[in-house]
Amino acid sequence: RAKAEGRDGFRFFDESMDESVKLRRGIEQDLRQAIQQGRGLSVHYQPQMDSSGTRVIGLEALLRWQHPTRGLLAPDAFISIAEETGLIGDLGRLVIRDACGVARDWPSLSIAVNLSPVQFRTRDLAAEVIDIVHSSGARPSQIELEVTESILLDDDDVVRTALTQLRAAGFRIALDDFGTGYSSLSYLSKFSVDKIKIDRSFTSRLGEATDAAAIIHAVVRLGHAMGLSVSAEGVETGEQRAFLESAGCNELQGFLFSAAVPAQSLKSVLREQQQAA
Ligand code: C2E
Ligand code: MG
Ligand code: MG
Ligand code: MG
């Protein structure tokens, strides 16, 4: 991108890049330390509800980092750095191990784990995930692996083989943030997945933009026609919940029900959800 801006643009860009490179290097060092010392990184869990939003049927594992000076960081602040530096492998293993523990504590709930495209490229991910889950004593059928559409763009056999192996081992695969990437319907039939998660941007535009409703209807119909379960992310209001239920979404997730909470808080959050139902 810098090159495309020409000589002057390049110089200007270069200077501002200096600061952000420094910032990212700092975060990388801190992250490396956090991983080595096993300190600061934790996994929070967000409830996933049934179609009416009354019953918790699953939990999504979401990484958090209590940074020594910057406070509690959301993944957007460090996942891309972890991907660039190879640290994503360590983070991925940490999250899966934690999720397996929660899976054993909550045998009736499905536990979703996000996987970065980089994790597929740098190692034998399928073997690693299968190994971690087996040695933890959790059941693969209880674990759902969330990948984004961008992973399907790498039309190479590595990804397809890994997904096939994971599904054969009993894991379910969900397509996360559906509709935001270079969605191509042909990918959906080429790679076998079990669920699509309609991106939060469509949910949040419900009520403002009529096309959001039309898109959601179309995605639900498409998903169901292909035998997939359809989930909607980012449900924040009762109106959105009602629309999504009537549109036929199978699962709902969002702040209306609960944000992600530490594993220790799950007991009280799930009890509250049960009482609200
Ligand atoms: P995602 O997988 O699409 O996760 C959903 C994100 O939306 C989470 O943000 C969640 O806190 C947020 N969210 C849920 N409900 C609502 C809502 O009603 N309103 C709004 N405004 N937001 C809502 P979070 O935890 O900051 O994670 C951001 C992204 O970082 C995730 O998006 C996922 O792509 C990535 N991520 C998180 N944990 C991991 C991980 O362990 N590994 C990898 N590779 N990526 C992760
Ligand atoms: Mg996700
Ligand atoms: Mg998502
Ligand atoms: Mg996302």
Q: Which of 62, 65, 72, 73 to mutate to test the pocket of ligand 1 (most atoms within 8 A of CB)?
A: 62
Give the distance, in angstroms, between the CA of residue 201 and the centroid of all CA atoms in the same chain: 15
Tell whether the model's pLDDT for residue 3 goes beyond 50.
no
CA–CA gap between residue 91 and residue 65 (Å, rounded): 11
Torsion angle (degrees, nearest 10) of CA 8, 13, 19, 20? -170
A 10 A CB-CB count for 114 gives 19
Burial 123-142 (b: 16+ CB within 10 A, else e): eebbebbbebbeebebebeb
pLDDT digits (tens, 9 = 90+) for 196-206: 999 999 999 99
Q: Are residues 49 and 57 in contact, defined by beta-carbon separation less than 8 angstroms?
A: yes
User: Rounded mean pLDDT of 99-108?
Assistant: 96
Angle in degrees, CA 241, 244, 248, rounded to 5 = 135
> Of the given ranges (107-116, 167-176, 205-214), which has the lowest mean pLDDT?
205-214
Q: What is the ipTM of this complex?
A: 0.98
Q: 95: left (phi > 0), else alpha (psi -120 to 50), else beta?
A: alpha
- The rounded distance, in Å, linking the Cα atoms of 269 and 57 is 13
Q: Which of 178, 103, 194 is nearest to 145 (CA)?
A: 194
Q: In the predicted model, is pLDDT for residue 146 greater than 50?
A: yes
**CA 50 / ligand 4 centre spacing (Å):** 20
pLDDT at 2: 42
Tell me if 102 sits within 8 A of 59, measured CB to CB. Answer: yes
**Residues having CB within 6 Å of any atom of ligand 1:** 46, 61-63, 74-76, 79, 95, 114-116, 146, 176-177, 200, 233-236, 253-255, 260
Q: Enter the DSSP assignment of 153.
A: H
Rg of the chain, C-alpha, whole Å: 20
Ligand at minimal distance from the CA of 234 is 1
Contact 257, 49 (CB under 8 A): yes
- Whole-prediction pTM value? 0.93
Are 116 and 176 in contact by the 8 Å Cβ rule? The answer is: no
Residues at Cβ < 5 Å from ligand 3 ion: 176-177, 233
* Six-digit token string for 39: 């300190």
Q: Rounded CA gap, 219 and 246, in Å?
A: 14
